[in-house]
Amino acid sequence: LNFLQLLQVDWRQPEQMALHVRGAVYCAERMVAEMPPGVDTWTAIINVSGIRAPPQAYLQEFTKVIQANYPERAHKIVVYPVPWLIVRVVESFLVWLPEKTRGKVSFASTSEGVCEATGLSLAQLPEELLGPGDADVLRGAEAVEVGAGKTVSHRRELRA
């Protein structure tokens, strides 16, 4: 799932909410239909690259529909890329979740972290997950220029 595209939606329009929730249900149904015999759970990698504030209304509706229609279908849900400091903060709050639920949710700051959480190799990850995450872009940079609305960051050195 690529949540960056969801930031461009006007969630005040009910037809937009219905359209995108139907899209999520379509993806879930397709995953279920393509599961080989004996497999009844999925692993989801949620790409939050470029997201600072997720669309809360959509997340609430999405969660309600998925929980009601696909209980126990999630094997693992990995949210990526999340800066390592945020990962540590979020993990400290996960202790309040039931152990079974806590074991299904991971936050990764690197593509290697995604591989560790999912058991996949780098070669198995989609290309869009192999680029630098937010944390990778910022690591070691003295300054980062990000144009409004652009998805590409450029490094530059500060000059005295």
Q: Identify the CATH number of the domain in which residue 125 sits.
A: 3.40.525
Q: Decide: 73 and 28 in contact? Cβ < 8 Å.
A: yes
Distance CA 94, CA 106 (A): 10
pLDDT of residue 115: 93
Cis peptide before 98 (omega within 30 of 0): no
pLDDT of residue 50: 77
Distance CA 138, CA 153 (A): 10
Quote the domain boundaries for residue 67: 3-156
Number of compact structural domains in the chain? 1
Q: Decide: 45 and 129 in contact? Cβ < 8 Å.
A: yes
Q: Decide: 87 and 107 in contact? Cβ < 8 Å.
A: yes
Distance CA 95, CA 109 (A): 20
**DSSP sequence for 48-95:** -TT-SS--HHHHHHHHHHHHHHSTT-EEEEEEE---HHHHHHHHHHHT
Give the mean pLDDT per block of 10 residues along the chain (160 residues): 74 86 88 90 86 79 86 87 84 84 87 92 85 55 47 39
Q: Is the pTM of this model over 0.85?
A: no
